[in-house]
Amino acid sequence: MKFGVATSSAAEALFSNPMRSLLTMLGIIIGVASVMVMMSIGEGAKAQIEAQISSIGSNVLTLQPGNMNRGGRNHGGGSGRPFAEADVTAMGELPFVQGVTGILSQQANAVSEEANWVSNIQGANASFFEVNNWRVAEGREFTTQEVQGGAAVAVLGKTSAANLFPDGRAIGQRIRVNSVPMEVIGILESKGQSGGGGMGMDRDDTIVAPLGMVRNRITGGNRQVSRHVSRIQMLVQDGYDVLEAQEETTALMRERRRIQPGEQDNFAVVNFADMIKQRAAAAETMSMLLAFTAAVSLIVGGVGVMNIMLVSVTERTREIGLRMAIGARGGDILLQFLFEAIALCTLGGLIGMGMGWIGVFAYAQIANAPMMVSPVIIATALGAAASVGLIFGFFPARRAAQLDPIQALRHD
């Protein structure tokens, strides 16, 4: 078969009637554009979720008072009876626990010499940094001794640091949180927006300080529980089944809170990473569904191409007859029309990709999501378009190739 003559004839047919070609391509353009947008959104969501998981750590368990799933809604920490520091210690004795920290948090007004800023102050144990896999970018973390001694030191989140110290020199400076003076000893690396404790919350807008000091001087005690904490976070050792850890933690806490068998938990052990993963799975199913819908529009586009190709074969029957009379084999004619269909679809695919790109870009701007156009998506979209051309172009092309030369030549 002669590829040269088939390709050039196909290209010529394509550009001899640009308006019709464009209209024929429309289905493919829309199909490819939507496949691309859907896949990109899906990939973007997946990447975002993966980033969130890695920022939280998939083996961190959080204990919150109150049954967080009552009525299908999170009632929030502190709505039930809080935990005690003794609970934190007990949790730390579980064999699979690598690190544990109690957390007591509250909105507080922080003041530096330069600015003031309302931030979230978290009282925590020294293992807070390890458990959250959240290290200082500058300065140092506070130590267990400082926590026990109730030292007035603070480690600032990136956002808090930037707002309290616009000129950037924070380490060693003094701040006052709800009038309590503290020395800034470290600045945490950025964690960014997070789907952890609160969706869309800026985790960097925080001040972390020794637990006892925060309770004694800022939040105050609790009437029911002495030395209380509002949350416990624990890091499960690598290789230990997190689900099993969750169960054992629940059992221990039920025991400590004297919950009778058959009674409901008045606390929750949550694995945020797990929740995010479930959400990721749901998002993936959704994006698969959308991509499938987009693929259907590609098939509809293919039927449109087939329709026009059949018309084209009929219109050009005489030309086909002539080509056969001067020596074109059936295979040459087949190839010519097949190339025309593939070229039509691939060109449509390219235009659709351009439009899809714009769509993805627009979505990224509006939804503030990362733009994900991977080579895999491009190859998939373009390959799908070309395949549509191949599949739906074959029938018209074969019809052309099987024409009887003399019948074709006499056609008018």
Interface residue list for other proteins (CB under 8 A): 2, 4-5, 12, 16, 318-319, 322-332, 404-406, 409
Phi first, then psi, for residue 173 (nearest 5°) are -80, 165
Burial (0-12, 13-18, 19+ Cβ within 10 Å), 230: buried
Least separation in angstroms between residue 31's CB and other proteins is 29
331 or 383: whose CB is closer to other proteins? 331
Query: Taking the mean position of all CA atoms in its chain, how far away is CA 14?
Result: 41
Does residue 105 contact residue 205 with C-beta atoms inside 8 Å?
Answer: no
285 or 407: whose CB is closer to other proteins? 407
11 or 86: whose CB is closer to other proteins? 11
Least separation in angstroms between residue 12's CB and other proteins is 6
Least separation in angstroms between residue 313's CB and other proteins is 16
CA distances from 215 to 105, 152, 205 (A): 9, 12, 20
108 or 328: whose CB is closer to other proteins? 328
Least separation in angstroms between residue 26's CB and other proteins is 24
6 or 207: whose CB is closer to other proteins? 6
CA distances from 16 to 9, 76, 164, 302, 400 (A): 10, 67, 67, 21, 19
5 or 111: whose CB is closer to other proteins? 5
4 or 200: whose CB is closer to other proteins? 4
Least separation in angstroms between residue 402's CB and other proteins is 9
Report the distance separating Cα 154 and Cα 183, nearest Å.
6
Does residue 332 contact residue 365 with C-beta atoms inside 8 Å?
Answer: no
**Sequence-separated (6 or more) residues with CB below 8 Å from residue 62:** 197, 231, 232, 233, 234, 269, 270, 271, 272
Q: What angle do CA 35, 382, 350 make, to 5 degrees?
A: 90
Least separation in angstroms between residue 411's CB and other proteins is 12
Q: Which two tokens stand for residue 32?
A: 């490819």
Least separation in angstroms between residue 379's CB and other proteins is 32
For 112-192, strand residue ranges (E) read 116-124, 136-139, 153-156, 174-177, 180-188
Beta bridge pairs of residue 201 = 194
